[in-house]
Chain A
Amino acid sequence: MDAADKKRLLREMLFARRFEERCYEAYVERKIGGFLHLYPGQEACVHGVMEAARPGHDYVITGYRDHIHAIKCGTDPRKVMAELYAKETGCSKGRGGSMHIFDVEHHFMGGYALVGGPFPLAAGIAKALQMQKSDQIAICFLGDAANNQGTFHEALNMAKLWNLPVLYVCENNLYGIGTRIDRSTAVVDQYKRVSGYNIPSAQEDGQDIEKVFEAARKAVDHVRSGNGPYFLELMTYRYRGHSMSDSNAYRPKAEERMWSARDPIIMLRDRLIEAGEIGKDEYKAMDTAVLDEIEQGIIRFAESSPEPRVEELEKYALAEDDVWVRGGIG
């Protein structure tokens, strides 16, 4: 990772932060409906991991906190925002919403709302890649609380059993909605839990993107080299509540202050300033440009896009004009 990469990543993470903050505003303005789970605080996780992988080439799947994962894979952020605005131009044509961002063209295989649901789906994607003798891998990003689902254990067992090319990334933000990890989980260090399946694992600081990148590089190399699954735990923190309907009253203020002092964007920014790679004014200009892009390019696109047509309500429930439905003699 050279200086240019770091500057690019700084901009990407800043963009992710501002994008999510703008989602918050749009939600308050009732432009976005339903549930909304935001990513601020955790930016170094997906950016560091995907920097070590091949975005748009490797297959990514995740839970409901999914906007930034899609964007990092290459999804046009205008299409993500339009999806949140429930528009026909959204990446899921307004049928999915915040929790169901999909972009198959960029190999982003979706956000799923059932906690732990993607574990076996990721293993299945890896099974398909293995059958097709592909050099691609499957990467599954989920939170710590998902590891208390049966799917975690079932999928890890099968992934190891069949040596599947899948990287499980656990973004451990210490809370399952409002329940702190030590109140829900017998073993707090998540990377230790996979030793029962003989899967190699590591725990890393999820706020320092350079550390995330190094840990992810090792993990991705392991999986891509045909050595089977790997589990990477990244210690991180979300600044907002679980979703917009979460009052976020359960976390001590001192804890929040401690984590915001280790903000992934500020840490990288200060490091680059110290190294003379970026000036304070340049950073400010970067921020202004990001905000401008979001407002002028992204929000405007979402606002001005058409809604889906009610006449197409039933479209996409089943395949259209599938000849095999009619049967016949082969």
Chain B
Amino acid sequence: MAEMMYWEAIRRAHDEEMANNPLVIAMGEDIGVAGGTYKATQGLYEKYGPERVMDTPISENGFTGLAIGASYLGVRPIVELMSVNFSWLALDQLFNSAAKVRYMSGGQLSAPVVVRSPGGTAHQLGAQHSARMEKIFMGIAGLRVVTPSSPRQAYGLIKSAVRCGDPVFINEHELMYNMKGEVPDDEYFHPLEGSEVVREGRDVTLFGYNISVHWALQAAETLSRNHGIEAEVVDLYALSPLDRDGIRVSVARTHRAVIVEEAEPAVGVGAEVMAIINEECFFELDAAPVRVSAVTVPIPYNHTLEKAAIPNAGDVVAAVRKMFGK
């Protein structure tokens, strides 16, 4: 098993899928000649040419719609939206066309596009480059939403998404492209549904996704080392559909739940997981579930303010200690 960076894993998935199927194409702003803002498509333009690695104009709704139209006829586009903040502009085509076309055509047509986009707050990018939009995507019928927390997932989720018959939105993270991790040497297809227990524990479940999995893992180490609390960490890499069974099974084991999300709390992942816990396993609970979320503000430029707006491992530790009265 080789260690590689998140961006390298994404690039490898592109390369393998493009080599496997001549109808797989990559599209996006600066992804070709420039190699991609996050290097995720580096070298592909040279290898596959301009017809299959398309530098697009800055017309997010237009080129996303173009990708959807191409997917009607068997093309498998992997679209990079340079930032989730820009994906707002493409929501019309993603939601109104891609997500609905199978249903409103009575199953005749589908739009198997893959749209990748980094979200999250990074380093002082300001309000219009720091959005966390997963909550918007995960509420849309007909669209799958996944969010990789590791290079292995980043690789395997793209591989499966390209071949899946549904439109898939892949929520990446600005801060994770240089994260290292092990990726199988053999071709690997990650499930588009489900969840992963990334740390076992008996006392409390910490639910995370994407970057917040790492905050949860850090918090779990601190809780174990300093407070005698063994936390289970569950990675909700699939945000739509959410893994109801996985959530129920873990809460039934630990009887306590904390959801860690990088976004503001309203109508978010935390709210949804809490609702599922209520519906699936309310009587298993020994304590009211808690969410650790961002503060509801546009993300400030000032570094101190920015850090204060976003949760971290310390906030998770504090939330768990409070839950246990420790």
Contacts and interface: CB of A to CB of B under 8 A. Distances in A.
Contact of B104 (A102, A103, A158): A102
A132 B66 CA distance: 16
Interface string B39-69: 0000000000001001011010111111111
Contacts of B141: 317
B239 to A, nearest CB: 14
Contacts of A329: 184, 186-189
B228 interface: no
Interface string B19-57: 000010100000000000000000000000001001011
Interface stretch (B157-165, B280-288, B290-298, B306-314): B157-165
Given A124-B66, A322-B165, A324-B164, A92 B72 contact: no
B80 to A, nearest CB: 16
A128 B72 contact: yes
Contacts, number: 188
Contacts of B302: none
Contacts of A322: 164-166
Contact of B69 (A91, A96, A100, A122): A122
A328 interface: yes
Nearest to A136: B73
Given A96-B106, A120-B93, A128-B69, A325 B193 contact: yes
Q: Contact size class for A?
A: 35 or more
A330 B186 contact: yes
A326 B191 contact: yes
Interface stretch (B107-115, B126-134, B205-213): B107-115
A102 B97 contact: no
B125 interface: no
Contacts of A165: none
Contacts of B214: none
B107 A315 contact: yes
A269 interface: no
The list of the 9 closest CB pairs from A to B, nearest first, reads A124-B69, A154-B62, A120-B65, A93-B106, A330-B187, A327-B191, A319-B165, A128-B73, A121-B69
A318 B107 CA distance: 9
B106 A316 contact: yes
B70 interface: yes
Nearest to A107: B73
Contact of A127 (B75, B101, B142, B161): B75
A273 interface: no
Interface string B246-285: 0000000000000000000000000000000000000000
Interface in A81-120: 90-97, 100, 102-105, 109-110, 112-114, 117, 119-120
A328 B186 CA distance: 11
Contact of A158 (B23, B57, B75, B102): B57
Given A112-B97, A316-B107, 14 more contacts: A95-B106, A102-B104, A120-B63, A120-B65, A124-B70, A124-B75, A127-B75, A128-B69, A128-B75, A155-B65, A158-B59, A317-B102, A325-B160, A329-B188
A158 B62 contact: yes
A260 B96 CA distance: 36
A102 B102 CA distance: 10
B304 interface: no
A109 B102 contact: no
Contact of B166 (A96, A150, A318): A318
